[in-house]
Amino acid sequence: MKFFIVVLPGDGVGPEVVAEGVKALGAVGTTFGHDFQLGYGLIGAAVFELQRTALPQTTLEMCKRCDAILLGAVGEPKWEDPTVKVRPEFGYGLTRLRKELGLFANLRPVRLYPALVDSTNLKPEVVNGVDFILVRELTGGIYFAEPKRTWQTPEGRQAVDTLIYSEKEIERIIRVGFKLARSRRKKLTSVDKFQILQSSELWRQVAEELAREYPDVQLEHMLVDACAMRIIQRPTEFDVIVTENLFGDILSDEASMLAGSMGMMPSASLAGIPQEGRRLFGLYEPIHGSSPHRAGQNVANPIATVLSVAMMLRYSFGLTKEAQIVEAAVDAVLSEGYRTYDIMDEGKIRVGTKEMGDLIAGKVANWSPRIGAS
């Protein structure tokens, strides 16, 4: 099968981890006879310096013509100054790309590989068996709604950010949660700030209405602060969590510690509701940032990017078997004791970005139906 993928390496460690994701993709193509054609585009701080936009029109147009997008990371410390009006991460960069392409459903799987049970800061009996998906609404809410501004008054500066959600936006993201839960353990946790936010009042109403269409799925409501606590206390109780943009951003970063590191956390941003056997346009990226202080040192963990490639295979290309093999290759490499710095344990074998990518791609290349990832 033939697929066209736009690759956006971005900033910091983005180009390094993306290279290893491409390496895994190449191993899949060679082993299973798929033709993955790649087109490279510019995004982020580097191009912002030259063009004063973090998303050139040429990049956007190429993304509109492809089957899927593989992204590294965007961001540079010089743009973190709070007085800067426009940053590569917002408005003219990644968020604009998500909005332009209608990528409203962000899936962030939280899975602790058995080999990493001692790599987290939590007790093994708490984290052992963690396996849930956090579904974050990605194109609405407080990140996008207007008015959004800062102004000067006689009493001092003031700022406003507006939180708006429509019934349609809420319905489509909660439906994603129900669909995923139906294909897993049939439990959906809808997270809001009920009785405080009007948007959460609407969110809960829509969730209850949709629940009638999914009688086989258990729906529970949870306040965001309670959910933050439960993720640390009893994370194995979760199956699928669905929530709005800001809450999802915060909770998924917290949940990454259950997987051992942000370097283990992939994501998929989809333009529709995932269904078995259906090809769906999406953007795939690790959830970690650009980590510019580690760029060029061959230390960044590429596993989140490789697992994002596995999600691409599953959701955008319908290649479930190939996705499972990539995930099995990661599991096998970790089980053999190889680690990047962020998941390093005593007695394990420390490797760099390229070496970890080579090990995983090697497992995929040597896969056979008889012996699995050898």
> Could you list the active site residues?
143, 193, 225, 249, 253
Tokens (6 digits) for 216: 């086989």
Tokens (6 digits) for 366: 């040597």
Contact by Cβ (8 Å): 221, 192: yes
Buried (b) or exposed (e) across 188-205, using 16+ Cβ within 10 A?
bbbbbbbeeeebbebbbe
Q: Cα dihedral sign for 273, 278, 281, 285?
A: positive
Q: H-type helices in 147-233, by residue range? A: 167-182, 198-211, 224-233
Q: What is the DSSP string of 34-101?
A: -EEEEEE---SHHHHHHHS-SS-HHHHHHHHTSSEEEEEE---GGGG-TT-S--TTTTSSHHHHHHHT
Q: What is the DSSP string of 257-274?
A: GGGTSGGG-EEEEESS--
User: Cis peptide before 369, with omega less than 30 degrees from 0?
Assistant: no
Alpha-carbon gap, residue 29 to 39, rounded angstroms: 16
Tokens (6 digits) for 186: 């049939």
**DSSP strand pairing (282-286 vs 266-270):** antiparallel
Alpha-carbon gap, residue 112 to 253, rounded angstroms: 14
